Each structure stands twice: as structure tokens, then as C-alpha cells.
């Protein structure tokens, strides 16, 4: 009975949020689902990899970042992004600065809220991208639903200035710390992808912990092949 109530609540919530929402984004949508929490003293190294397999070939992007909490509720992280180009060469593609802001105390309200702000500059091109949006997480017993809704603006001499929207969702079962299976959904312009994933963590002494994430996303709105695999490792210390 509880499960039925939780499921209906979850469906109502998703319907409320998704019905008026159409996502428009021509960039890479499959990346990471953000959670709305920041810990004071948090410092981290992060590595992310996303591989897209389409009919026209394989695209690979990796990013390495370092970040730190700058207040009790705000964390700042800087990344360098590397991509494999059309000739198969892997090289520096962009720089990115990201700010995460935990807006309310976890568990205080019906759901937990955060905000995300990002600015990215392409390395060799005059292309900038600014992202802002909300991050929401709601617990349903042993499961958690996380939603990201972003507004993106791209500008520069080498790109047509435009607004885009992105939507990401993750529903995970907190089975055990090391293994929390999930279902992930990504929406952007001409892209709706869904697939399984998992996250986990291993604690060490003090605040040291290693987190891992993976997702296997299949594009479902187009007939052509578009599979994405994403991995992320975060070492907090």
C-alpha cells in the first residue's frame, strides 16, 4: 500500500514538472545529474567521461576538475574539458567554472533545493556557454528522485546566439552505500535519452571518500543509433 502511495505521489510529481516542460538543447545533454547538497570543508578532484556512439561514429569527452566549498552552502569547481575531434585527435576543448549552491537545509522542506551556475569557454573558438538552473531532490523511503532543470545561453562570434533548456532526472534506490542502482532521463533539443545507471561510494578516514557513477543512456526520440556511456569518479578529501 505504501509503495502504491509513493508511486502515485512520484508520478504526480513527475507529471506536474514534465507536462509543461519541453527541453531544447543541441549540446551534449548526457553528463551528470547534480544533487542539491554542499558540505562545508568539502574539497574534491573529479574526473568524468562521456562516450556517444552514433551511426556517424564515436564522440568522446572527458573533464577533470578540482573544487572546494567556499561557504557552508556554496561550492566552486573549475574544470578543463578534453574532446576527441573528427580526426581522432584528443585535445583540450574548453574550460569551465561551476558554482553549486545548497538553498535549504536537507530534509527541512518537502523537497531539497539547490541551484547551479556554470560558465564555459571553448579553447580555440569564440564560443561561451552560461548555464543556470535548479536542482531538486526528494526522498521516498529508501529511494530518491533528483531533478535538474537548466537554462543555457550560448554566444560568441563562432556560434549563433541562442537560448536552450535541459532537463535531467535520476531515480535511485539507496540499496547500500557502494551500490545504488538508478534510472536516468536526459532531455534536450531533439534528444530524449533514458537508461540504467548506478552510483556508489567508499569512505576512508575523516572526510576522505571516493564516489563513482555510471550511466548507460539510449536515445529514444530518434530512429538513428545514439548510445551514451558515462562514468564519473570523485575523490573528496
List contacts with other proteins (CB under 8 A): 2, 12-13, 15-16, 19-20, 37, 39-41, 72, 105-111, 139, 141, 144, 174, 176-177, 203, 206-207
Query: Under DSSP, is residue 167 helix (H, G, I), strand (E, B) or coil?
Result: strand
- Whose Cβ is closer to other proteins: residue 5's or residue 220's? 5
| Minimum distance from residue 122 beta carbon to other proteins (Å) | 36
Of 57 and 141, which CB lies nearer to other proteins in the complex structure?
Answer: 141
Q: Which C-beta is closer to other proteins: that of 123 or that of 174?
A: 174
Residue 113, judged by CB atoms within 10 A of its CB (0-12, 13-18, 19+), counts as middle
**Considering the complex, what minimum distance in angstroms separates the CB of residue 146 from other proteins?**
12
As measured in angstroms, the least distance from the Cβ of 108 to other proteins is 5
- How far apart, in Å, are the Cα atoms of 236 and each of 37, 53, 206? 14, 31, 10
**Cell (9 digits) for 67:** 573544487
Instruction: Name the residue among 211, 214, 213, 199 with its Cα closest to residue 237.
Output: 211
Q: Are 130 and 162 in contact (CB under 8 A)?
A: no
CB 12, min distance to other proteins, A = 6
- Residue with Cβ nearer other proteins (50 or 136): 136
Amino acid at each position: 500500500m505504501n509503495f502504491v502511495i509513493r508511486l502515485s505521489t512520484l508520478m504526480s510529481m513527475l507529471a506536474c514538472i514534465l507536462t509543461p516542460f519541453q527541453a531544447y538543447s543541441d549540446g551534449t545533454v548526457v553528463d551528470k545529474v547534480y544533487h542539491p547538497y554542499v558540505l562545508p570543508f568539502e574539497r574534491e578532484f573529479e574526473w568524468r567521461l562521456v562516450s556517444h556512439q552514433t551511426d556517424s561514429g564515436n564522440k568522446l569527452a572527458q573533464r577533470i576538475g578540482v573544487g572546494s566549498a567556499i561557504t557552508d552552502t556554496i561550492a566552486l569547481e573549475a574544470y578543463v574539458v578534453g574532446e576527441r575531434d573528427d580526426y581522432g585527435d584528443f585535445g583540450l576543448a574548453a574550460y569551465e567554472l561551476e558554482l553549486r549552491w545548497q538553498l535549504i537545509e536537507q530534509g527541512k522542506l518537502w523537497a531539497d533545493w539547490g541551484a547551479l551556475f556554470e560558465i564555459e569557454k571553448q579553447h580555440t573558438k569564440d564560443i561561451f556557454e552560461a548555464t543556470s538552473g535548479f536542482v531538486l531532490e526528494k526522498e521516498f523511503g529508501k529511494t530518491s528522485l533528483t531533478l535538474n532543470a537548466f537554462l543555457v545561453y550560448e554566444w560568441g562570434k563562432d556560434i549563433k546566439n541562442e537560448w536552450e533548456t535541459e532537463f535531467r532526472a535520476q531515480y535511485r534506490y539507496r540499496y547500500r552505500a557502494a551500490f545504488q542502482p538508478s534510472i536516468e532521463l536526459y532531455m534536450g533539443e531533439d534528444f530524449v535519452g533514458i537508461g540504467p545507471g548506478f552510483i556508489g561510494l567508499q569512505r576512508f578516514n575523516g572526510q576522505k571518500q571516493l564516489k563513482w557513477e555510471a550511466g548507460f543512456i539510449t536515445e529514444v526520440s530518434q530512429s538513428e543509433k545514439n548510445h551514451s556511456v558515462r562514468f564519473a569518479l570523485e575523490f573528496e578529501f
